[in-house]
Amino acid sequence: MFSPGGSPRTNCQLLYQHIQELTSNDLRKRKTAAERSMIRLGITFNVYGEEEGTERIIPFDILPRIIQGEQWSWISKGLKQRIIALNMFIDDIYNEQKILKDGIIPEHVVKSASSFRPQCVGMKPPNGIWCHITGTDLVRDSDGEFYVLEDNLRCPSGVSYVLQNRQLMKQTFPGLFEAQFVRPVDDYCSQLLDALNSLAPEHVEKPVVAVLSPGIYNSAYFEHSFLAQQMGVDLVEGRDLVVRDRRVYARTTKGLMAVDVIYRRIDDDFIDPHVFRKDSMLGVPGIIDAYRAGNVALANAPGTGIADDKVIYAYVPDMIKYYLSEDAILPNVPTYVCWDDAQRDHVIKNIADMVVKPANESGGYGMLIGPRASKEEHDKFVELIKANPRNYIAQPTLALSRAPVIIDDHLEGRHVDLRPFIIYGRDIYVLPGGLTRVALRKGSLVVNSSQGGGSKDTWVV
Amino acid sequence: MLSRVADSIYWTSRYIERAEAVARFIAVNLNISMDLSTAGNQQWMPLVTTTGDDEKFSEIYGEASKRNVIEFLTFDRNNPNSILSCLINARENARSIRERISAEMWEHINRFYLMVKDVGDAEGILDDLPDFYEAVRNSGQQFVGVTDATMTHGEGWHFCQLGRFLERADKMSRILDVKYYILLPSPQHVGSAFDDLQWAALLRSASAYEMYRQRFGRIVPQNVVDFLMLDKEFPRAVLHCLTRANESLHAITGSDIEGFTNLPEQRLGQLRAEFAFTSASDIIARGLHEFIDDFQKRLNLVGESIGTTFFSLQAAA
């Protein structure tokens, strides 16, 4: 919001003025009102490991983050380029594997990824697209540039908060919306429904679409329910579905109803006990068989997670070059892969300055933030890396940009990141803005809601 | 409609109706006990008995003091039928079908739950009981209004109606049963001033006092039984509830209201017909308590058959 000199950036002046006119008491009152309506509306997420049914709101900061239109066009172009290349990569990996044969990515890196699904080799999803819904995490460094921090291609969460945050903001600062050109986000669900409809087998005239959720105890249940509601489709759980003759049906009060397209929010591991984890109670036995037969479309396709692996992430710029003959518009954060001897040595030597992440975790679990960790934690991670080098990547600690946040009755800077959402159906749609996540603890770099992070509305003006 | 969704809509509606009914139970007893307190004749245990949870109560509380009974029936999470438990269950069910009910319905349930929970967490509730139970009753009725005004009157809405009217029929009969328990020790009191007070309080707790007066004028026990059990038009009367539930059941299946195509239609149809062709004097001759006891058993069978016919995931598979 502020330029290095301390004055508000040009595009933030109106907002700055508006906030200046509010007393600190006003600010606090509006913040409380916004949070109260979140509780009243039940905009919550579930916290694992706490008492069953514990729900919390994601703390919401009512100061929006503003991104200039021109900068957004550039980001949006970069995201489209990236998702095209990633989809070509997934399709290649499960079919011809040209990129491996040409030696652009070492074969062992792909085959050793825990998200690589040999069961998906030879699959051909509708229109050749595997990943229909992506949430890509971006960060801004002190140089003002946006970098891709990671790609979330399996079941990316958070878009419901973007849409709800915007609603709350309209209640909180109605005047500002009249004055500013804030790009709307409200058509996300229409875009999503169009994309899902486009996946249905051609002969189906009015496809039956459903959102598949693990159920109300899942941390993202609110989102599953919200998306189904906004699209006007059924929210189903595994126990609602049954496969007969390679076709998926829902159990209804009047018997079985065929389902054509499923936006699944259950991970590969749990979606079909016949194919993946045998002990899973959440999934639908036989659904992958129905998918193979082309009788049901799954978004995102099983196997998509291969491009989600944090080691694979390091190779995305190479993929873009390989498949599109273009340079990546959005750069990666510099990344060291620990399976490589030289890079691993560098990481171990500099561990105190590195952020170390396991290749296959999300939600900020299992990370080391070097500069904030003790000597014992450094040593522990060195051991972990040595024991399983394939599983770790490391990145230098960035000077993540900060945004002002209301703390009690005044403003303080907190680190933020940005998760834009991309839908790949017939066309590619990039939601203008995305979820700005805020590390609420002073100095913290961790923005995940499961780790106490909050959120802000993001305005593209 | 998904079987699981129909199940949850039905139970959401039942639980809200149940919470409201428990509030009515307690309110009528508070009311009666105010008039009876001089006689040192407060009776709280019958309330627990009529909800059918006396074993659980004795296990946890032992003595049936006013405070214990109110705590047990209102805020005790160990009692699955306490008002708070009903709202937790209603909310949990509603949360699992948010995409199928209107946003207003969900918001209302969520607020209703938070209101009861906050009061339960606060101290000194015993001072404000009448207001609190009135708020619960109002919230329950508002839910009905919100549902009626915001949910498409299709299959889901009919499951909502079905749950509500079966629950209401059950609880209406139990409210009458409270009266039976209170009067049982002294049948010679029938027709005394105390007796009149109690019947009036009972009618008020069923929100039926004014409507009863318009229909019958003087308060006569047999007419009260007639009104609350057998009136066709009064929306809390058992016969009316059975009729409405039966209509919704047939709307769901699309079958002829005069016949039956499945077990719940058969059972509910028979039960409704018996109510339609009986009189208050018949009921009293059989014994009110015995009649209600038999009715509740048969109503449970209707509920069971609804579960296996529409909600059981096995049935459709």
Residues of A in contact with B254 (CB under 8 A): none
Closest residue of A to B6, CA-based? A253
> Residues A210, A288: one domain?
yes
> Residues A287, A366: one domain?
no
Residues of B in contact with A218 (CB under 8 A): none
Q: Given A396, A428, A448, which residue is the final one in a domain?
A: A396
Please say if the pLDDT value at position A426 is more than 60.
yes
- Taking an 8 Å cut-off on Cβ atoms, the answer to whether B111 and A234 are in contact is no
Decide: A248 and A258 in contact? Cβ < 8 Å.
Answer: yes
Q: What stretch of H or E contains A226?
A: helix A221-231
For B137-173, what is each residue's pLDDT tens digit?
999 999 999 999 999 999 999 999 999 999 999 999 9
pLDDT, position B53: 85
> Residues A291, A364: one domain?
no
**Chain A closest-CA separation from residue B315 CA (Å):** 8
At B191, the pLDDT band (50, 70, 90 cuts) reads low
Residues near A413 by beta carbon (within 8 Å), at least 6 away in sequence: A402, A403, A404, A405
- Residues A284-307, mean pLDDT to the nearest whole number: 95
- Taking an 8 Å cut-off on Cβ atoms, the answer to whether B92 and A216 are in contact is yes
A28, two tokens: 């606090």
Domain containing residue A271: CATH number = 3.40.50.11290
For A127-140, what is each residue's pLDDT tens digit?
889 999 999 999 99
Domain containing residue A392: CATH number = 3.30.1490.270
* DSSP code of residue B78: T
pLDDT, position B317: 41
Nearest to A215 by CA among A148, A265, A284, A253: A265
Nearest to B35 by CA among B198, B208, B218: B198
Identify which has the larger pLDDT, B170 or A362.
B170
CA dihedral of residues B164, B169, B173, B176 (deg, nearest 10): 70
Identify which has the larger pLDDT, B124 or A242.
A242
Q: Which of A200-204, B78-82, B106-110, B155-159 has the lowest mean pLDDT?
A: A200-204
pLDDT, position A48: 57
Q: Which of A226-235, B8-17, B30-39, B186-195 has the lowest mean pLDDT?
A: B186-195
> Residues A209, A274: one domain?
yes
Would residue A197 count as lying in a domain? no
For A9-48, what is each residue's pLDDT tens digit?
766 777 777 777 777 788 788 888 888 888 877 777 766 5
Would residue A257 count as lying in a domain? yes
The CA–CA distances, whole Å, from B12 to B94, B167, B207 equal 6, 11, 22
Total residues found in chain B within this entry: 317
Most B CBs within 10 A among A253, A254, A256, A262, hence the mutation to make, goes to A253
pLDDT, position A316: 96
Q: What stretch of H or E contains A356?
A: strand A354-358
Determine the structural domain holding residue A289 and report its residue range: 202-295
Per DSSP (E only), the strands in A79-230 are 133-140, 146-152, 209-212
For B203-262, what is each residue's pLDDT tens digit?
887 889 999 999 998 888 889 999 999 999 999 999 999 999 999 999 999 999 999 999
Per DSSP (E only), the strands in A104-254 are 133-140, 146-152, 209-212, 234-236, 241-244, 247-252
pLDDT, position B21: 92
**Chain B closest-CA separation from residue A195 CA (Å):** 20
- Taking an 8 Å cut-off on Cβ atoms, the answer to whether B4 and A240 are in contact is yes
Cα–Cα distance, A428 to B108 (Å, whole number): 38
- Residues A182-209, mean pLDDT to the nearest whole number: 93
Would residue A174 count as lying in a domain? no
- Residues A208-216, mean pLDDT to the nearest whole number: 95
Please say if the pLDDT value at position B99 is more than 70.
yes
- Taking an 8 Å cut-off on Cβ atoms, the answer to whether B317 and A240 are in contact is no
Please say if the pLDDT value at position A227 is more than 70.
yes
Q: B110 CB near a chain A CB, below 8 Å? A: yes
Return the exposure string of A4-13: e unless at least 16 CB atoms fall within 10 Å of the residue's CB, then b. eeeebeebbe
> Residues A219, A289: one domain?
yes
Q: Is the dihedral of CA A262, A207, B105, A431 positive or negative?
A: positive
At B314, the pLDDT band (50, 70, 90 cuts) reads low
- Residues B69-95, mean pLDDT to the nearest whole number: 94
At A281, the pLDDT band (50, 70, 90 cuts) reads confident
For A302-338, what is each residue's pLDDT tens digit?
999 999 889 999 999 999 999 999 999 999 999 999 9
pLDDT, position A101: 96
Mean pLDDT of chain A: 89
For A103-149, what is each residue's pLDDT tens digit?
999 999 999 998 999 999 999 998 889 999 999 999 998 888 899 99
Please say if the pLDDT value at position A299 is more than 70.
yes
Closest residue of B to A216, CA-based? B96
> Residues A211, A288: one domain?
yes
- Among the partner-chain residues A40, A211, A239, the one whose CB lies closest to the CB of B111 is A40
H helices within A126-158, ranges in order?
Answer: none
Would residue A263 count as lying in a domain? yes
Please say if the pLDDT value at position B193 is more than 80.
no
- B 234-293 residues inside an 8 A Cβ radius of A: 252
- Residues A199-220, mean pLDDT to the nearest whole number: 91
pLDDT, position A20: 73
Q: Are strands A247-252 and A261-264 parallel, antiparallel or unpaired?
A: unpaired
**Chain A closest-CA separation from residue B98 CA (Å):** 6
Nearest to A435 by CA among A148, A165, A229, A182: A165
At B313, the pLDDT band (50, 70, 90 cuts) reads low
- Taking an 8 Å cut-off on Cβ atoms, the answer to whether B107 and A41 are in contact is yes
For chain A, what is the domain count?
2
Please say if the pLDDT value at position B199 is more than 90.
no
Cα–Cα distance, B154 to A363 (Å, whole number): 41
Cα–Cα distance, B185 to B187 (Å, whole number): 6
- Taking an 8 Å cut-off on Cβ atoms, the answer to whether B96 and A242 are in contact is no
Please say if the pLDDT value at position A4 is more than 60.
yes
A366, two tokens: 């299992």
- Residues B111-121, mean pLDDT to the nearest whole number: 90
Would residue A278 count as lying in a domain? yes
Cα–Cα distance, B235 to B210 (Å, whole number): 13
Total residues found in chain A within this entry: 461
> Residues A223, A270: one domain?
yes
pLDDT, position B231: 96
Most A CBs within 10 A among B7, B98, B261, hence the mutation to make, goes to B98
Would residue A45 count as lying in a domain? no
Residues of B in contact with A228 (CB under 8 A): 99
- Among the partner-chain residues A42, A226, A253, the one whose CB lies closest to the CB of B3 is A253
pLDDT, position A442: 81
- Residues A193-215, mean pLDDT to the nearest whole number: 93
Share of chain A above pLDDT 90, in %: 60
Q: Given A267, A295, A323, which residue is the final one in a domain?
A: A295
Helix (H/G/I), strand (E/B), else coil: A143: coil
Cα–Cα distance, B73 to B129 (Å, whole number): 13
Q: B317 CB near a chain A CB, below 8 Å? A: yes
- Among the partner-chain residues A225, A251, A253, the one whose CB lies closest to the CB of B317 is A251
Would residue A232 count as lying in a domain? yes
> Residues A283, A341: one domain?
no
The interface predicted TM-score (ipTM) is 0.79
- Taking an 8 Å cut-off on Cβ atoms, the answer to whether B316 and A215 are in contact is no
> Residues A279, A341: one domain?
no
Would residue A285 count as lying in a domain? yes
Q: Given A396, A411, A434, which residue is the final one in a domain?
A: A396
Cα–Cα distance, B168 to B161 (Å, whole number): 10
Q: Which of A261-275, A372-386, A407-421, B188-202 has the lowest mean pLDDT?
A: B188-202
Q: Which long-range contacts (CB under 8 A, 24 or more apart) does A381-388 make?
A: A381/A351, A381/A356, A382/A348, A382/A351, A385/A338, A385/A344, A385/A347, A385/A348, A385/A356, A386/A348
pLDDT, position B25: 83
H helices within B151-279, ranges in order?
Answer: 155-183, 193-205, 209-216, 221-225, 238-253, 263-276
pLDDT, position A375: 92
Q: Are strands A454-460 and A60-67 parallel, antiparallel or unpaired?
A: parallel
Residues of A in contact with B264 (CB under 8 A): none
